[in-house]
Amino acid sequence: MDDPFVIAGQSLSSRLILGTGGAPSLDVLDAALVASGADMCTVAMRRLEPSTRGSVLDVLDRRGVRVLPNTAGCHTAREAVLTAQLAREALNTSWVKLEVIADDDTLLPDGTELVEAALELVADGFTVLPYTNDDPILARRLEQAGCVAVMPLGSPIGTGLGIRNPHNIEMIVTGSSVPVILDAGIGTASDAALAMELGCDGVLLASAVTRSQDPALMAEAMAAAVVAGRAARRAGRIPQRWHARASSPGEGLVQT
Amino acid sequence: MELTVNGEVRQITDAATVADLLTSAGAPDRGSAVAVDGVVVPRSEWQTWRLRPGQRVELVHAVQGG
């Protein structure tokens, strides 16, 4: 592959990372996962419900995809660190999608708690991929804290509002020496393509696929969008200009 | 003895281990983890880690999410 996607020394075959939340059933999730071509998926950690039949891990293991546990729902660094430690023990991985949210209404990351949790987890040997705001300075702080990637939101989780501040995402890309993964807010395929065109290294999404009317078909669309957006970025788009510029020759025109 | 497991008070056998508790709770081996009083119990110590009265236990597992 001439354009490898590498995080913390690990090569991933797809730049699309699939969140498993929101799928109405494990069968639907399985079909979407296959259609997405993703080889890394997130899971959450929750209190045990013995009545639950079947596990998301059965699906992920069967498809041979890497499991990325998250700390979704944590409001403090302390909660996030404990959840990450539990996930490491449960899933035998030191990789964690670090999520520390400020409140349940916005689900926006709490920058102060996020950096504190990142520092603690890095010191504890974790490979930390933080879900963060579209704030270039906070992204820089997280990279300085030792995170292996930064994952800015396009817009709040589950909103499908797309990328509200493309300029900030570009600034994060420009200022970052670790992979940038657009995480949250994707609504449809053009949002994912835009993320890649802006220079992101990957896209992480869940609801846009799992809550669409046809998750497998939307997963296929997202996979194609990420590939197309990446190719467009690498190809180098034409500059935008105010005045028209003909592509046909100006000379040799027919005279009447 | 009395313990708090996932926020609920439960009676369990005296001298039970973390492994005993996981078994009685029907926890799947893959994807489960345990914290006692806010400290994660390593998988390698589940068989020997004895629970004590009044402890707070969190039993978690992996679910679909974000």
Specify the CATH number for the domain of residue A71. 3.20.20.70
CB contact under 8 Å between A90 and B59, yes or no, is no
What whole-number distance in Å separates Cα of residue A59 and Cα of residue A43? 12
Task: Give A55's contacts in chain B (Cβ within 8 Å).
Answer: 28, 30-31, 61-62
Distance from CA of A72 to the nearest CA of B (A): 7
The pLDDT, as a whole number, for residue A120 is 98
Residue A97 annotated among the catalytic residues of the structure: yes
Q: Is residue B66 part of a domain?
A: no
pLDDT at A97: 98
Write the DSSP symbol of residue B44.
Answer: G
* Domains held by chain B: number: 1
Q: Do the domain assignments include residue A201?
A: yes
Domain count, chain A: 1
Nearest alpha-carbon partner for A66 in A17, A109, A30: A17
Helical spans, DSSP H, in A183-246: 189-197, 207-210, 215-235
Answer yes or no: do A22 and B40 touch at CB < 8 A: no
Q: How far apart are CA A131 and CA A98, in angstroms?
A: 6
Q: Are A39 and A18 in contact (CB under 8 A)?
A: no
Would you say residue B9 lies in a domain?
yes
Is residue A51 scored above 80 in pLDDT? no
Q: In angstroms, rounded to a whole number, what is the distance separating the alpha carbons of residues A209 and A21? A: 10
Domain extent for A95: 5-48+55-234
> Helix A26-36 and helix A56-63: axis angle, to 10°?
30
A226 within some domain: yes
Confidence tier at B13 by pLDDT (50, 70, 90): confident
Please give the residue range of the domain that contains residue B42. 2-61
Q: What distance in Å separates the CA atoms of residue A64 and residue A73, rounded to the nearest whole number? A: 27
pLDDT, tens digit (0-9, with 9 covering 90-100), for A168-200:
999 999 999 999 999 999 999 999 999 999 999
